[in-house]
Structure 1
Amino acid sequence: MLDAIEAVDWARIPGPAGWYRPDLAASGLRALATATGLVQAARAGSVLAGGGLVHDHSGGVFPAVVTAAPILLAIARHGHPEAGATALGLLDDALAFATHDRHTRVATPYAEAVPICCALADHLRGSTDLLATCGLEGKHLRADAAEHWRFDVHEIIAGSDGDGVLAFGALAGRFPDDGPQAAELHLAGRVTPLEQVALHYPPEDGSEGGSPDACLHITGVHPRELAPPAVLFPARCAPGPITR
């Protein structure tokens, strides 16, 4: 864990001036990774919540928390139990807190301007085995992460009579069951708003982990705009401008 912390140039990660403290991100993570009890874990958590990864007094979250998420999850898995609980609490806050000014998105391997909450949710979904052993905190994090769904397009078919497009692919998280949703389409560095996306049929196994058999019905978009590897996210997660 310490090697992973030292491998990151935290000062190069953007964040709101006067709020984000990259020095606190590094020192707080080191302290949390090596904590051996409640007091040390609490002190490290206060550092990380005071400008390192989030700012709890203002309820703000910074892009650095996405880089730190695998480290926090590793602390929860391998660190002292009190440090693990602190790490999960920080992830819970980060998923719920608001972004600051223009620092609302991060680059990921699958899209270049992903809302912070959606990128965090992907990390959490990758550790469902860990969260399943973490009691109510883990259950809460799994449920919250599921709300930040992601859909990876694998294949598209034009609808009959020009009635939109059917997109087949992998759905991660839980698509809302209360009707069509607004979404963001990410492809080749571009982000396109979509006004109406509906679940044509859910993953066959009913899981939230992602199935290649999910299908969305999308209107107001040309099929070529949905060519793989297009990715969709819920529009409600991205109120800010497309800057990083």
Structure 2
Amino acid sequence: MTCKTSLGPGQRGAARCEDAAVLDAIDAVDWGAIPGHPDWYEPARAARGLRALADAATLVEAAEASSLLGGGGIVHGHSAAVFPAAAVATPLLLDIAQQGHPAARDAALGLVDEALSSYPHVEYTRVTTSYGTAVPICCAIAHELRARTAFLAGLGKRGRALLADAAEHWRFEIRECVAEGNDTAAFGALVGCFPGGVHAAEVHVGGEIAVLDEVVLEYPPVDGSGEACLRVTGRRPAELPPGAVLFPAECGERVH
């Protein structure tokens, strides 16, 4: 990383940090190839906004960059809509938050928060990731936030609030199942926080998505292991093979 100093009349120097790896990562993305509502998503704003935010060294510069990203780059703030590009941009925004100017950090975290809470347009609700080919945008953003747990927790209240919001977007990967009467006990790895009570879930198997109407946490993770057991009502083990992944059904139903 190289740091420049921006000096204004009568002002102390403000560090402007430009991480070449972050800028290269921004430029490596074909933002125009990422799908998005043609009337709202503006790929050029995503690329320009991220580069400008990475380079921002003042509140004004950070605000201008944030305006590009929030006005059609990764979200459309006025209509509270999020685009698939937000899932791609989130790790880049978190890099900027970790390495950039404090004003850029605050803007980056605000944009991630907005993207996580906004709703996508119909037909532009999911993204491809390493753990699924049709992951709800909010769940993909939450995954990136969990990957920066140490950094975010170190920020205090704001970072912990982001992690708490991300925890609501849980994910469960099945490793094995056992029949229990007409139900199935599914054992596997849980990330995030499965809420109390009975909930609907999406199950992703071989590129197909089905809805499980009743899922409950039978045994929660112990000592931070992530190992858990979910009971799925009215389903047989054959319907829930190893490698199947569950997401909250409400995340898949989020539509602007």
With the shorter chain as reference, the TM-score category is over 0.9
More divergent stretch after superposition (141-150 vs 213-222)? 213-222
Q: Which residue is equivalent to 2:215?
A: 197
Q: Secondary structure in 2 aligned to 1:120?
A: helix
Supply the distance in 1 between the matched residues of 2:238 and 2:53 (Cα, whole angstroms): 47
Counterpart CA distance in 2 for 1:225 and 1:5 is 40
Cα distance between partner residues in 2 of 1:181 and 1:102 = 24
Greater CA drift, 62-71 or 223-232: 223-232
Which one-letter code corresponds to 1:96 in the other structure? S
How far apart, CA to CA, are the structure 1 residues paired with 2:47 and 2:235? 43
Which of 37, 41, 46 does residue 62 from structure 2 map onto?
41
Q: Deviation at 1:96?
A: 0.6
Match of 1:233 in 2: 247
In structure 2, C-alpha distance between the alignment counterparts of 1:234 and 1:102, rounded to whole Å: 18
User: What is residue 194 of structure 2 aligned with on the other side?
Assistant: 175
- TM-score, normalisation: structure 2: 0.89
Kept after mapping to 1: 8 A contact 2:217/2:230: yes
Residue-pair matches, total: 234
Alignment partner of 1:151: what SS? strand
Q: TM-score, normalised by structure 1?
A: 0.93
Question: What residue number does 1:130 align with?
Answer: 151
Q: Offset of 1:38 from its aligned partner?
A: 1.1
| Higher normalized contact order (CA 8 Å, seq sep 6+, divided by chain length) | 1
Give the 3-state SS of the residue equivalent to 2:165 in structure 1: helix
Residue 80 in structure 1 maps to residue 114 in structure 2: no
1:14 aligns with 2:28: no
The answer to which of 143-152 and 133-142 deviates more is 133-142
1:170 shift after superposition: 0.8
Of the structure 1 ranges 100-109 and 7-16, higher mean CA displacement relative to structure 2 is found in: 100-109
What is the Cα deviation at residue 240 of structure 1? 5.6
Do residues 166 (structure 1) and 200 (structure 2) align?
no
1:113 counterpart SS class: strand
- Structure 1 unmatched runs, 5+: none
2:212 aligned partner, one-letter code: L
Could you tell me whether the CA contact under 8 Å between 1:186 and 1:231 is conserved in 2? yes
CA positional deviation for 1:101: 2.0
Moved beyond 6 Å, runs of 4+: none
Q: Which has the larger radius of gyration?
A: 2
Q: Structure 1 or 2: larger strand share?
A: 2
1:5 corresponds in structure 2 to 26
What is the letter of the counterpart of residue 134 of structure 2? A
Aligned partner of 1:147 among 143, 146, 168? 168
Aligned counterparts of 1:226 and 1:111: Cα–Cα separation in 2: 15
What is the rounded CA distance, in whole Å, between the counterparts of 1:81 and 1:117 in structure 2?
Answer: 25
CA contact 1:111–1:187 (8 Å) conserved in 2: no
Conserved 8 A contact 1:102-1:240: no
Letter in 2 for 1:223: P
Identity of aligned residues (%): 55
What is the identity, as a one-letter code, of the residue corresponding to 2:200? A
> Once superposed, what is the RMSD of the aligned Cα atoms?
1.2
The whole-number CA distance in structure 1 between the counterparts of 2:88 and 2:193 is: 24
Query: Which amino acid counterpart does residue 184 of structure 2 have in structure 1?
Result: V
CA distance in 2: counterparts of 1:57 and 1:114, whole angstroms: 25
Gaps of 5+ in 2: 1-21
Q: Retained in 1: the 8 A contact 2:146–2:163?
A: yes
